[in-house]
A and B are shown apart, each in its own frame.
Chain A
Amino acid sequence: MSSDSTIRQRRVPGGSGQAGAYDQDGEDHVNTVYQNPRARSQWEQLLDTPRASMAVVGVLTTLAFALRFYKINHPDQVVFDEVHFGKFAAYYILREYYFDVHPPLTKLLFGLAGWFVGFDGNFTFDNIGDSYTENHVPYVGMRAMPAIFGSLTVPAVYAIMKESGYSTIVAAFSASIILFDNAHIAQSRLMLLDAPFIFFMSMTIYSYIRWRKLRYHEFSVEWWSWLFGTGFWMACTWGSKVNGVLTVVTIGIAVLIDLWDMLDWKKNGYTMEHFWKHFGARAAGLIAWPVVLYLIFFWFHFTVLIYSGAGDSFMSPAFQETLIGNELLMNSQDLHYYDIITIKHKDTKVFLHSHPETYPLRYDDGRISSQGQQVTGYAHDDTNNHWQIIPTKSLPDWHQARIVRHEDVIQLLHVNTQTLLMTHDVASSLMATNQEFTTWPREDQTRYNDTLFHLEVVDGVIAEAWKSKSSHFRLVHVPTRVSMWTYSSQLPEWAFKQQEVNGNKNPTDKSAAWVVSDILETDAPVDLENQQPKEPKKLGFFRKFAELQVLMLQHNAGLTASHPYASGPINWPFLISGISFWTENDSQKQIYLIGNLIGWWASVVALSIYFGIVGADLLARRRDVYPVPDEVRNRLWNSAGFFVLVWAVHYLPFFLMGRQLFIHHYLPSHLASAMVAGAVLNFVISETINFPVSIAGRSTKMRPSQYADLGIRGPVITGLFIFALFLMFMFLAPLTYGTPGLDGDTVNAKRLLSSWTLHFAAKVTDGQS
């Protein structure tokens, strides 16, 4: 079925000089056969009808729903990250503020689903394995939401392939890789972000392709709709997970390439005006519009969450005071001179502490201390945590003037020992580069200057009052410009293993922030109004949004703690290891996130073939050999190339990330690789393609149509492949659904790669014990 002269040379070597020697023999052959759709094989004709296509997609979708909803009520316990996302849904229902690194769209949907099925929010999803039924949580309804999205991903993939001009059978091939994939199914059946995220992502790709196909109908209504449709789904993708940024980047790269082509004066002859019009349209549809949507998601987020909750402490004091019932809002008070207070370090939550014991004269490493009184950080309540604010200027009588303000110079008196906090140019006990903190008797004026501290309220404005609870502040030593600082490092036995406090030479270090925890005594008249609940303050939406965005980014980068199931990106495509989501010891049940080995490895093979073909073609062209016809090559570059771009952009950045990574981060890339697999399958079994794919406009240069014909091979190969996929799926299904329970030997059998860490494996009897 393949055309016999696939390798054509542009010029006849040897200088025969016959310009006509080059002809289009091979191409003509292909053209005559496939320009007529009726000349295709019967199978192709049968399958390519809209009705057959509908039937195929119908079957696929039904199966997708069946596989994802099968025993969705099992287990009736909290599984893996449901701990987080279930909890967040509950917070939406209770309207309590929480903090998470991911944008809110999917979590809002979970909240909505929970509210819809009557969840009252009074379950905290504390531990994996907590029972839903005992706590009367309508979890099935909440799990149905991602399951629906997960099921719809399958027809979405089918539609993408179909719209890209592939045969029904190729589209079915790609879709079934997703349909029978254990990882996608496991991820869709639980309250996790990935299934909606992946659905939104595939819809973005779908809309983009639809829009791209309309490129000869620029600025038509349809064109605008699909442009804004792409923007809409893009915003949804980005709004449901941080990784959605990668989808935005993908579309961005594709659009930039497109715009670059459009600039080509020789090819299109567009004026710059025309170009700017196109540029403006894309800016509106793919930047401005998604940004507005993204903001709207956050607007909902802030509008729903109006009560104080678990996420308060992440936010700045100004933000916290907008939440009803927040502790800062309730208890924050102005501080006055001579108040006795306790001071807490913001990050490590220890109190500033001192006790009569002194630093040892000589440390183990031979350095020498001042032998002054120890100043440490102590985590528990103690009278040695009490400090009094001493003014360094004369104070008028009225109490308003006794308020301590931003940029005042103060002294801190340790109440129990009546000594003043001070620091000097002596190396601290643990860090030779930092200054030692100690105290000095109050009466002794010789070291007066060393006891002066400059009070800097973080983000403070001039003359802003220093407040308990809500003002984060730094104490900067006046003579030496070091900032009082502590970090989680214990002093030795001589300081009762309390935390070291020292002077940080970078006075604006972020971790040098402290906060006044309590006011124990004050001369100021007690504000009676304080006893009544205060009105929450207002803060502009954009300020809230900006603050939350920055925090999300910081925390996302900060997720570096090691996790037993974290894995490196290089392992993912090969399914080297999975994640244990949930186990039940009695019945030996386990949910283990692992993909369908056949589907994943086929995708990897397809990617390798793709790179092989493209690389070989590039090399051959360099040597003036043209092995692939132009139309087919264009399809490889533009269609399959776009899928490869999606794959690469959703995969390669993980190699640069320092945060903990899991195999489910590969699922979007796996989806793209399934589409690449379809394109490669088409290329490998037939060199025919459907052409043109884009919808012709008036100015389009018409070229003869071609039709793809996979013949009987297509259905047979796809059928066999799907069968294999299905067998593998069934084999791994107990790990995906977490039921039925498995005995040890079965577990061993299902451990296809030795790197999978399955529970309940039987002891291997050989080898040493």
Chain B
Amino acid sequence: MRPDQVHIDFGTPEGPTPRTSDEYEQVSYPSTHNHDHQHHHTTHTHTHRNEGGNESLPLHYMSEETARRRVAKGPGNSGGFMSGEESEKDMPYDDTGKDVYSKMRPGAGVPRVSSGRVHRPPPPPPTSITEYIHQNMDIVTPIFYTLLSCWSRFRKIGLNDHVVWDEAHFGKFGSYYLRREFYFDVHPPLGKMLVGFAGALVGYDGSFQFESGAQYTENVPYVAWRVVMSMFGVALVPIAWFTAVELGMSQFACHVVALMVLCDVGWLVISRFILLDSMLLFFTFTTVFFLAKFHNEQHHSFSFDWWMWLTLTGFSIGCVCSVKWVGLFVTSVVGLYTIEDLWEKFGDLRLSNRQQIRHWGARITCLITIPILVYMASFKLHFMILNHSGTGDAQMSSLFQAHLVGNDFATNPLEVAYGSRITLKNMGWGGGLLHSHVQTYPTGSEQQQVTCYHYKDNNNEWNILPRWDEPAFDPNSDMRFLKHGDIIRLQHGPSTRNLHSHEVAGPITKVNYEVSCYGNATVGDYHDYWVVEVLDDIKQGKREHVEKIHALTTRLRFRHSTLGCYLHAGTVPLPQWGFKQIETTCIKENDPSDAHTIWNVEGHWNDRLPPADATYHKSPFLRDFWHLNVAMMTSNNALMPDVDKEDILASVPTDWPLMRLGLRMCGWGDEIPKYYLIGTPIVWWGSFVAIIISVFVLGAYLLRWQRKYVDMDAHEWGHFLYVGKIAFYGWFLHYIPFFIMGRVTYVHHYLPTLYFAVLMFGHVFDHFFFSSRRLSTKTKRIVFGVVTFLIVANFWWFRGLAWGMEGPINDHWGLQWRKSWNIYNI
């Protein structure tokens, strides 16, 4: 709705005052303000610097009766606390901007921000030590919490000298960095590089195999390594404290948030091992912190601090996404905040176009470009460090592999000729090598299986031979190079059978023809003929420029000469009889853009040809980057819950907030210390309840707002919404997507989500108790005392889950708070 027209005639000084203090007079003012109001009536040019202080805002002193008043139809109809910018009482009337609807001019003598932390004036110099300490409490308290955090994280950290839980993965990945062997994993590399870096710092040489549950050998300084990794976990507590401060929570609420982060056994136990989660949490926490910092600079646009915090937010987003893709959720919190912010700016008519563009540009640069650069940089580093051949080779393109030390195919002969022994790599993202083995199809033709396989063995090798009706291949004849349009036979190396296709439906994909291996070196028919079609060459360019087919770079397709179909390896795995290898068929559709029908020669052996120049091949970074990301995406999606295998560790999102299931992190024998991954109940349950309450509270306030009750003044409401939105969006966006995802989920996926619930817990307590005007300080202290006691006591009760439970598990009494937990052996 368009606000009504307002007639303000500033030209006549004696005229009716716009928005007089009539409304102010509904509340009783402290006497000091009278002077100010006199001012109001006499001059309108005066800017009200005196009103800047928090204390001087009159509505804070509203009594209960006046707080529940309805706002009369004042000028601009700007009643209600939703219209924060239009609120009457702190509208600076200056001559230049006659627009009474506009927002406060940033920095124009209005030191108070509408939400976030309240900036206080600097205190007078201290006169005694106690005063000095008192003045510096904002430093002392976090230091105190940091020390506590160190103690809780480092305590007995080396108690279990076995590979605990996913250390088996991440310790191993860290070792790969130290050994510089290429590996493949579903997570982006930053976190694992940091693990590797920490390993290098503590003097580990990368030689340990990290078998699950194995005992550490002497050459693995696992204690120091864990200590370095848990630094990230240590930092969570002070960051949470500072975030709460920056979000403008009261002291009590800040303490509650910091204590909850300190005392949650879930966060504690996950920080104490060589895992990625502590880093993911760390960067999630920093992102929220930087965002809150940035928000507090909102009225100092383009100041140094403003740029710094914005850039740091972007940097932090980049880091969190480079640790795990889950980081995208916190990114979307920042995204929502930014969209809302920009929408506000878009409606601010007093910003010049130039300023608008600068605002948009700053966001795009800092929140989109920087994160992408950070993400890509982590991959660049990843590729630079891992320059040896390793277990992950097969996921990458042949060209990339050619560069890894330990792979010889960069020096294999370049030009493919008849008589060459080759391996063929499918160019679909994450495609494998054309493979055959002696096992036969159980259905269809029941001939020898042809599949696509990701690992290297002899069964991937094929010989290029002429057709049956041509003279047989003679190793002593002239070299005959392979060209576009040649009709050839592909003979499987070990079994000497020929690659064959016929009008039999494929084993899984029934619309395609089956591809099998048939005959032998002398037996065969015209169904063994394949037409080589060159698509293009990465080096030489289009088909017209390709004279000879090159290994690694030429992109080929194989058309069956009689059926006209194309050799195709999709993404469908065969059942157990095919060892879950990829189904390979002949597809009828001729689609040159279908990467699954495109192949390149990977390995190439021919004694009569000279080795190629290794520097000839170069794999462009962006291609590798994209390739690896698609492969990660594919495998991530492939982590589907296996119906055949009930995974006792997996849980579903509905299990998390109320902690239906925990997770045993290591062997459960009597002799080893045991860790159980589950939260401190009061932290998890309490924070979840806070989320629920917040929804109802917001609903109630909205209804009252629609009935035009004023429960809070504009700033208070703005603040209530701002903190609530950060916490609720964060929680929602970190939680709901797990319902939609098809992949297996575990309880530790809730850990980043929990942070936002904890913030909400602090916020709700702040709103109802610690910042309440109705409660006395004494009541607030009592509430705070009770909450603190409950959190700490609850943590102490469950401390063993994180610090390690020694001896038989059933000797530890009283831990089974829910029937569904499997802490005890039954």
Whether, in the assembled complex, A701 has its beta carbon less than 8 Å from a beta carbon of chain B, the answer is no
Contact of A265 with B7 at beta-carbon distance under 8 Å, contacts A433-B646, A622-B343 already known: no
Whether, in the assembled complex, B707 has its beta carbon less than 8 Å from a beta carbon of chain A, the answer is yes
Chain B stretch 668-712: residues in CB contact (< 8 A) with chain A? 703, 706-708
Task: Please name the residue on chain A nearest to B8 by beta carbon.
Answer: A19
Residues of B within 8 A of A265 (CB): 70, 706-708
Chain A stretch 610-665: residues in CB contact (< 8 A) with chain B? 619, 621-624, 626, 630
Cα(A626)–Cα(B564), bound, Å: 62
Whether, in the assembled complex, B10 has its beta carbon less than 8 Å from a beta carbon of chain A, the answer is yes
Residues of A within 8 A of B708 (CB): 264-266
Contact of B73 among A10, A266, A619 (CB under 8 A): A266
Task: Please name the residue on chain B nearest to A270 by beta carbon.
Answer: B707
Residues of B within 8 A of A622 (CB): 343, 346-347
Whether, in the assembled complex, B141 has its beta carbon less than 8 Å from a beta carbon of chain A, the answer is no
Whether, in the assembled complex, A255 has its beta carbon less than 8 Å from a beta carbon of chain B, the answer is no
Residues of B within 8 A of A430 (CB): 644
Task: Please name the residue on chain A nearest to B702 by beta carbon.
Answer: A260
Cα(A284)–Cα(B5), bound, Å: 41
Whether B707 contacts A263 by the Cβ 8 Å rule is yes
Chain A stretch 498-548: residues in CB contact (< 8 A) with chain B? 505-506
Whether, in the assembled complex, A17 has its beta carbon less than 8 Å from a beta carbon of chain B, the answer is yes
- Interface flags for B628-648 (1: CB within 8 Å of A; 0: not) read 000000000000000011101
Q: How far is the CB of A482 from chain B (nearest CB, A)?
A: 12
Residues of B within 8 A of A263 (CB): 703, 706-707
Whether, in the assembled complex, B199 has its beta carbon less than 8 Å from a beta carbon of chain A, the answer is no
Whether B77 contacts A266 by the Cβ 8 Å rule is yes
Whether B706 contacts A623 by the Cβ 8 Å rule is no
Contact of A505 with B11 at beta-carbon distance under 8 Å, contacts A10-B5, A622-B347, A623-B346 already known: no
Residues of B within 8 A of A769 (CB): 564
Task: Please name the residue on chain A nearest to B706 by beta carbon.
Answer: A263
Whether A768 contacts B5 by the Cβ 8 Å rule is no
Whether, in the assembled complex, A213 has its beta carbon less than 8 Å from a beta carbon of chain B, the answer is no
- Interface flags for A1-38 (1: CB within 8 Å of B; 0: not) read 00000000011000101010010000000000000000
Whether, in the assembled complex, B23 has its beta carbon less than 8 Å from a beta carbon of chain A, the answer is no
- Interface flags for B62-86 (1: CB within 8 Å of A; 0: not) read 0000000010010001010000000
Contact of A17 with B98 at beta-carbon distance under 8 Å, contacts A433-B646, A626-B2, A768-B590 already known: yes
Contact of B347 among A489, A623, A768 (CB under 8 A): A623
Whether, in the assembled complex, A432 has its beta carbon less than 8 Å from a beta carbon of chain B, the answer is yes
Task: Please name the residue on chain A nearest to B647 by beta carbon.
Answer: A433
Interface size class of A (residues with CB under 8 A): 20 to 34
The B interface, classified by DSSP as helix, strand, loop or mixed, is loop
Cα(A436)–Cα(B11), bound, Å: 94
Residues of A within 8 A of B98 (CB): 15, 17
Cα(A135)–Cα(B285), bound, Å: 74
Whether, in the assembled complex, B9 has its beta carbon less than 8 Å from a beta carbon of chain A, the answer is yes
Task: Please name the residue on chain B nearest to A430 by beta carbon.
Answer: B644
Whether B349 contacts A623 by the Cβ 8 Å rule is yes
Cα(A624)–Cα(B2), bound, Å: 9
Whether B70 contacts A17 by the Cβ 8 Å rule is no
Cα(A506)–Cα(B349), bound, Å: 63
Residues of B within 8 A of A260 (CB): 706
- Interface flags for A416-447 (1: CB within 8 Å of B; 0: not) read 00000000000000111110000000000000
- Interface flags for B184-215 (1: CB within 8 Å of A; 0: not) read 00000000000000000000000000000000
Contact of A22 among B5, B70, B346 (CB under 8 A): B5
Cα(A478)–Cα(B119), bound, Å: 67
Task: Please name the residue on chain B nearest to A434 by beta carbon.
Answer: B646
Whether A19 contacts B349 by the Cβ 8 Å rule is no
The A interface, classified by DSSP as helix, strand, loop or mixed, is loop
Whether A264 contacts B349 by the Cβ 8 Å rule is no
Task: Please name the residue on chain B nearest to A619 by beta carbon.
Answer: B346
Cα(A15)–Cα(B11), bound, Å: 12
Whether A431 contacts B343 by the Cβ 8 Å rule is no
Whether A431 contacts B346 by the Cβ 8 Å rule is no
- Number of chain B residues close to chain A: CB under 8 A: 27
Task: Please name the residue on chain A nearest to B349 by beta carbon.
Answer: A624
Chain B stretch 57-113: residues in CB contact (< 8 A) with chain A? 70, 73, 77, 79, 98-99
Residues of A within 8 A of B2 (CB): 10, 621, 626, 630
- Interface flags for A245-287 (1: CB within 8 Å of B; 0: not) read 0000000000000001001111000001000000000000000
Residues of A within 8 A of B79 (CB): 266
Cα(A11)–Cα(B101), bound, Å: 11
Cα(A623)–Cα(B345), bound, Å: 10
Task: Please name the residue on chain A nearest to B97 by beta carbon.
Answer: A15
Whether A17 contacts B10 by the Cβ 8 Å rule is yes
Q: How far is the CB of B699 from chain A (nearest CB, A)?
A: 12
Chain A stretch 588-623: residues in CB contact (< 8 A) with chain B? 619, 621-623
Residues of A within 8 A of B73 (CB): 266
Residues of A within 8 A of B70 (CB): 265
Max chain A Cβ within 10 angstroms of own Cβ: one of B7, B590, B646 = B646
Contact of A433 with B707 at beta-carbon distance under 8 Å, contacts A17-B10, A266-B73, A769-B564 already known: no
Residues of A within 8 A of B77 (CB): 266
Cα(A218)–Cα(B729), bound, Å: 40
Contact of A11 with B99 at beta-carbon distance under 8 Å, contacts A17-B11, A266-B77 already known: yes
Whether A264 contacts B646 by the Cβ 8 Å rule is no
Cα(A432)–Cα(B646), bound, Å: 9
Residues of A within 8 A of B648 (CB): 433
Residues of A within 8 A of B706 (CB): 260, 263-265
Whether A431 contacts B5 by the Cβ 8 Å rule is no
Q: How far is the CB of B772 from chain A (nearest CB, A)?
A: 26
Task: Please name the residue on chain B nearest to A262 by beta carbon.
Answer: B706
Task: Please name the residue on chain A nearest to B1 by beta carbon.
Answer: A630
Q: How far is the CB of A151 from chain B (nearest CB, A)?
A: 41
Task: Please name the residue on chain A nearest to B644 by beta carbon.
Answer: A431
Cα(A99)–Cα(B347), bound, Å: 57
Task: Please name the residue on chain A nearest to B740 by beta carbon.
Answer: A656
Q: How far is the CB of B116 from chain A (nearest CB, A)?
A: 24
Q: How far is the CB of A673 from chain B (nearest CB, A)?
A: 27
Task: Please name the residue on chain B nearest to A504 by beta carbon.
Answer: B646
Cα(A619)–Cα(B356), bound, Å: 14
Chain A stretch 432-478: residues in CB contact (< 8 A) with chain B? 432-434
Cα(A505)–Cα(B822), bound, Å: 14
Contact of A768 among B10, B564, B644 (CB under 8 A): B564
Cα(A10)–Cα(B2), bound, Å: 9
Q: How far is the CB of B334 from chain A (nearest CB, A)?
A: 22
Cα(A765)–Cα(B590), bound, Å: 16
Cα(A95)–Cα(B645), bound, Å: 45
Task: Please name the residue on chain B nearest to A769 by beta carbon.
Answer: B564
Residues of B within 8 A of A15 (CB): 98
Cα(A10)–Cα(B1), bound, Å: 12
Task: Please name the residue on chain A nearest to B10 by beta carbon.
Answer: A17
Contact of A19 among B7, B99, B644 (CB under 8 A): B7
Q: How far is the CB of B223 from chain A (nearest CB, A)?
A: 35
Q: How far is the CB of B353 from chain A (nearest CB, A)?
A: 11
Cα(A17)–Cα(B346), bound, Å: 24
Residues of B within 8 A of A266 (CB): 73, 77, 79, 708
- Interface flags for B215-255 (1: CB within 8 Å of A; 0: not) read 00000000000000000000000000000000000000000
Residues of A within 8 A of B10 (CB): 17
Cα(A265)–Cα(B707), bound, Å: 5
Chain B stretch 93-139: residues in CB contact (< 8 A) with chain A? 98-99
Residues of A within 8 A of B343 (CB): 622
Q: How far is the CB of A701 from chain B (nearest CB, A)?
A: 15
Q: List 26 A-B contacts (CB under 8 A).
A: A15-B98, A17-B98, A19-B5, A19-B8, A19-B9, A22-B5, A260-B706, A263-B703, A263-B706, A264-B706, A264-B707, A264-B708, A265-B706, A266-B77, A266-B79, A266-B708, A433-B646, A434-B646, A506-B646, A622-B347, A623-B347, A623-B349, A624-B349, A626-B2, A630-B2, A768-B590
List 5 other contacts, CB 8 Å, given A17-B11, A19-B5: A19-B8, A264-B708, A266-B77, A431-B646, A622-B343
The 9 closest A-B pairs by CB, nearest first: A622-B347, A265-B708, A263-B706, A433-B646, A19-B7, A265-B707, A768-B564, A622-B346, A266-B708
